[in-house]
């Protein structure tokens, strides 16, 4: 099985989503009027939520990349011109 690589634009999109998730929690803390200590505590208390959303976004983007990857149809032996089929019957033929 070939190794699957996620496109760069999807990785960049994931980074933007993670920054957006962290920024939204930071905006909530600032909107509530927390000082620096309470803001850091709020972000630490909600770290599991932020991590969960980041992992979920990464998994969804990975699944999308599996569906969006280009499909290269394999050529049959007749079309490829290759006489080396890996059949066991050809192993003993002269």
Q: Tell me: the pLDDT tens digits for 2-38?
A: 677 888 989 999 999 999 999 999 999 999 999 999 9
Tokens of 89: 């019957």
In the chain, where the domains are located: 12-67
pLDDT of residue 33: 95
Each as own residue / partner, the long-range contacts of residues 63-67 (CB below 8 Å, 24 or more positions apart, any chain) are: 64/10, 65/4, 65/6, 65/7, 65/10, 66/4
Place of tokens 């930071």: 26
Place of tokens 């969960």: 52
- In sequence order, the 6+-apart residues with CB closer than 8 A to the CB of 12 are none
- When pLDDT is cut at 50, 70 and 90, the band that residue 90 belongs to is low
Its pTM stands at 0.66
pLDDT of residue 13: 94
**Higher-pLDDT residue of 46, 72:** 46
Q: Is 42 exposed, middle or buried (0-12, 13-18, 19+ CB in 10 A)?
A: middle
Mean predicted confidence (pLDDT) in 58-87: 71
pLDDT of residue 29: 95
CA 89/CA 94 separation, integer angstroms: 11
């Amino acid at each position: 099985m070939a190794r699957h690589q996620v496109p760069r634009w999807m990785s960049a999109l994931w980074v933007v989503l993670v920054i957006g998730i962290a920024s939204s929690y930071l905006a909530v803390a600032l909107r509530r009027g927390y000082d620096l200590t309470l803001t850091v505590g709020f972000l630490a208390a909600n770290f599991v939520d932020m991590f969960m959303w980041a992992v979920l976004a990464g998994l969804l983007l990975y699944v999308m990349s599996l569906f969006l990857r280009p499909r290269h149809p394999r050529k049959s032996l007749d079309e490829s011109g290759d006489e080396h089929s890996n059949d066991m019957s050809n192993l003993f033929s002269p």
